[in-house]
Amino acid sequence: MTIRIGQAALGAAAALLMAGAVQAQSFTAEQLVAKNLAARGGADKIAAIKSVRFNGKLIFPGGFELAYVETRLRGQGVRQDATIQGMTVIQAYDGRQAWRINPFQGRRDPDLMSPDEMRQMADAGSIEGALLSAQADKGRVIYQGVEDVDGTPAYKLKVTQADGDEFTYFLDPDTFLEIKVVESRRIRGAEQVTESDIGDYEKVADVYFPMAITSGPQGGGPNQQQTITVDTAEANVTVEPNYFNMPATPAASATPK
């Protein structure tokens, strides 16, 4: 009697075998964080980066494309600029407050972000990222086993920050670099869960950074995703004074008598 096994069944069996092999290595959360740190470039190389600037594109569904610049300065702030047809959306955090300018909403003056959004911007400005910053920020990291990520049996680590925000990181079993992040926050009292697929790592000053990030609401589908692709990146750039600070709002015109 001939037994025939379909390709789908073979693929599922192979995935189970791979997951079993990965699971058998039995890493602790601390060991996986250490391996991720080494894979990124090591503590000394990461600490040597005081600032980093990424230039590329921000792409929305339908191919709607904006020029994108993101600048991070260790301990002082982050700023993201997205420009199309002479109009620029700016989001920034200066270490004390977060603000935005969005001319597409009919406003050219800066607005303060909410405290929840400020925490989100502060996390975006970390050069290390939430996983490597967890211990210093009094966060907690738990190993949650192995989970399939598009056919890759990835190590799963959950980071809970002191403020309650949560990040679930999925590490590639070969490189120990992040390939997916699920971010859970409360924004204005409502839970917001975002998934990001991460890839195309390249070295910047001997430290690996992802050059492609596709993100969107969990379960939202491709029509709700945006992609950042980085064309060039540079470490230890000079950042102009007050670059992250919220611009002064022009004084209102005096009321005619």
β-pair partners for 66: 58
- Tokens 């991460």: give the residue: 198
pLDDT string in tens for the chain (257-residue length): 333 444 444 444 444 455 555 554 679 999 999 999 999 999 999 999 999 999 999 999 888 899 999 999 999 999 999 999 999 999 999 999 999 999 988 778 999 999 999 999 999 999 999 999 987 788 899 999 999 999 999 999 999 998 889 999 999 999 999 999 999 998 887 889 999 999 999 999 999 999 999 999 988 888 889 999 999 999 999 999 999 999 987 644 344 44
What's the CA gap between 138 and 244, in Å, rounded?
A: 26
Residue 16 in any domain: the answer is no
pLDDT of residue 255: 41
**Strands of 107-225, DSSP E:** 111-112, 140-149, 152-160, 166-171, 178-187, 190-204, 207-217
Residue 132 in any domain: the answer is yes
Residue 4 in any domain: the answer is no
Identify the sign of the CA torsion 104, 109, 115, 119.
Answer: positive
Residue 19 in any domain: the answer is no
Q: For residues 246 and 112, is the Cβ–Cβ distance under 8 A?
A: yes
pLDDT of residue 20: 53
**Structural domain containing residue 70:** 27-235
Q: Give residue 7's identity as a one-letter amino acid code.
A: Q
pLDDT of residue 126: 93
What CATH code is carried by the domain that includes residue 202?
Answer: 2.50.20.10
Residue 2 in any domain: the answer is no
Residue 250 in any domain: the answer is no
Residue 35 in any domain: the answer is yes
Residue 10 in any domain: the answer is no
Instruction: Please give the tally of structural domains in the chain.
Output: 1
β-pair partners for 72: 52, 78
CA 78 from centre of chain: 13
pLDDT of residue 157: 97
